Protein backbone atom coordinates (compact mmCIF):
# COMPACT_ATOMS: atom_id res chain seq x y z
CA UNK A 1 0.00 0.00 0.00
CA UNK A 2 1.30 3.43 -0.96
CA UNK A 3 1.57 6.28 1.49
CA UNK A 4 0.14 9.71 0.71
CA UNK A 5 3.68 11.01 0.28
CA UNK A 6 4.51 8.32 -2.28
CA UNK A 7 1.31 9.01 -4.21
CA UNK A 8 1.98 12.75 -4.17
CA UNK A 9 5.54 12.24 -5.41
CA UNK A 10 4.37 9.97 -8.23
CA UNK A 11 1.75 12.48 -9.32
CA UNK A 12 4.18 15.40 -9.24
CA UNK A 13 6.65 13.41 -11.32
CA UNK A 14 4.09 13.72 -14.15
CA UNK A 15 4.88 17.48 -14.32
CA UNK A 16 7.88 19.22 -15.88
CA UNK A 17 10.10 21.18 -13.47
CA UNK A 18 8.79 24.45 -14.96
CA UNK A 19 5.13 23.36 -15.17
CA UNK A 20 2.33 25.90 -14.89
CA UNK A 21 -0.98 25.12 -13.18
CA UNK A 22 -3.87 27.53 -13.72
CA UNK A 23 -6.93 26.99 -11.50
CA UNK A 24 -10.10 28.82 -10.41
CA UNK A 25 -10.70 27.23 -7.01
CA UNK A 26 -10.48 30.40 -4.88
CA UNK A 27 -13.09 32.17 -7.01
CA UNK A 28 -10.48 33.90 -9.15
CA UNK A 29 -8.08 32.38 -11.65
CA UNK A 30 -4.64 31.78 -10.13
CA UNK A 31 -1.45 30.62 -11.82
CA UNK A 32 1.25 28.53 -10.13
CA UNK A 33 4.64 28.23 -11.85
CA UNK A 34 7.16 25.49 -11.14
CA UNK A 35 6.71 21.99 -9.76
CA UNK A 36 6.95 23.14 -6.13
CA UNK A 37 4.26 25.80 -6.68
CA UNK A 38 2.06 23.15 -8.31
CA UNK A 39 2.64 20.91 -5.28
CA UNK A 40 1.64 23.70 -2.89
CA UNK A 41 -1.54 24.49 -4.86
CA UNK A 42 -2.59 20.84 -4.99
CA UNK A 43 -1.92 20.41 -1.27
CA UNK A 44 -4.26 23.33 -0.51
CA UNK A 45 -7.04 21.60 -2.42
CA UNK A 46 -6.43 18.31 -0.65
CA UNK A 47 -6.93 19.97 2.75
CA UNK A 48 -10.66 20.49 2.18
CA UNK A 49 -11.98 17.75 -0.09
CA UNK A 50 -15.63 17.82 -1.08
CA UNK A 51 -17.66 15.24 0.84
CA UNK A 52 -18.75 12.16 -1.09
CA UNK A 53 -17.07 13.52 -4.21
CA UNK A 54 -17.12 11.59 -7.46
CA UNK A 55 -15.69 12.77 -10.78
CA UNK A 56 -17.05 11.46 -14.06
CA UNK A 57 -15.02 11.96 -17.25
CA UNK A 58 -17.50 13.04 -19.93
CA UNK A 59 -15.25 13.61 -22.94
CA UNK A 60 -11.57 13.48 -23.85
CA UNK A 61 -10.07 15.06 -26.96
CA UNK A 62 -6.42 14.84 -28.03
CA UNK A 63 -4.82 17.22 -30.52
CA UNK A 64 -1.06 16.72 -30.73
CA UNK A 65 0.46 17.66 -27.37
CA UNK A 66 -2.82 19.05 -25.99
CA UNK A 67 -5.41 16.90 -24.26
CA UNK A 68 -8.76 18.25 -23.06
CA UNK A 69 -10.86 16.36 -20.54
CA UNK A 70 -14.39 17.52 -19.75
CA UNK A 71 -15.76 16.28 -16.47
CA UNK A 72 -18.67 16.42 -14.06
CA UNK A 73 -18.02 16.54 -10.33
CA UNK A 74 -20.72 15.23 -8.02
CA UNK A 75 -20.94 16.14 -4.33
CA UNK A 76 -23.78 17.16 -2.03
CA UNK A 77 -21.68 20.24 -1.18
CA UNK A 78 -22.04 21.64 -4.73
CA UNK A 79 -25.04 23.75 -5.76
CA UNK A 80 -27.49 21.35 -7.36
CA UNK A 81 -25.24 18.44 -6.41
CA UNK A 82 -22.86 18.74 -9.36
CA UNK A 83 -20.58 21.01 -11.37
CA UNK A 84 -18.91 20.75 -14.76
CA UNK A 85 -15.40 21.64 -15.81
CA UNK A 86 -12.57 21.05 -18.20
CA UNK A 87 -8.89 20.33 -17.74
CA UNK A 88 -6.48 21.16 -20.55
CA UNK A 89 -3.13 19.39 -20.40
CA UNK A 90 -0.24 20.60 -22.55
CA UNK A 91 2.51 17.99 -22.73
CA UNK A 92 6.21 18.35 -23.38
CA UNK A 93 8.46 15.33 -23.53
CA UNK A 94 5.63 13.16 -22.23
CA UNK A 95 5.16 15.29 -19.08
CA UNK A 96 2.59 17.93 -18.16
CA UNK A 97 4.04 21.36 -18.94
CA UNK A 98 0.77 23.23 -18.40
CA UNK A 99 -2.49 22.25 -16.72
CA UNK A 100 -5.46 24.59 -16.92
CA UNK A 101 -8.65 23.85 -15.00
CA UNK A 102 -11.81 25.84 -15.65
CA UNK A 103 -15.44 25.55 -14.74
CA UNK A 104 -18.06 25.24 -17.46
CA UNK A 105 -21.49 26.78 -17.29
**What mean pLDDT is predicted for residues 66-94?**
96
Secondary structure (3-state) at 44: helix
At 45 the pLDDT is 84
Instruction: Please tell me the pTM assigned to this model.
Output: 0.88
Average pLDDT estimate for 95-100? 98
- Which CA distances in Å does 58 have to 5, 71, 81? 29, 5, 16
Domains of the chain, by residue range, sit at 4-104
Indicate whether 83 pLDDT > 90: yes
Determine the CATH number of domain 4-104.
3.10.450.50
pLDDT at 3: 67
Amino acid sequence: MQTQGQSEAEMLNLFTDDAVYVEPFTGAERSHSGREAVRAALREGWKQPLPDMRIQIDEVAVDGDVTRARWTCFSPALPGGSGRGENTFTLRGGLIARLETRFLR
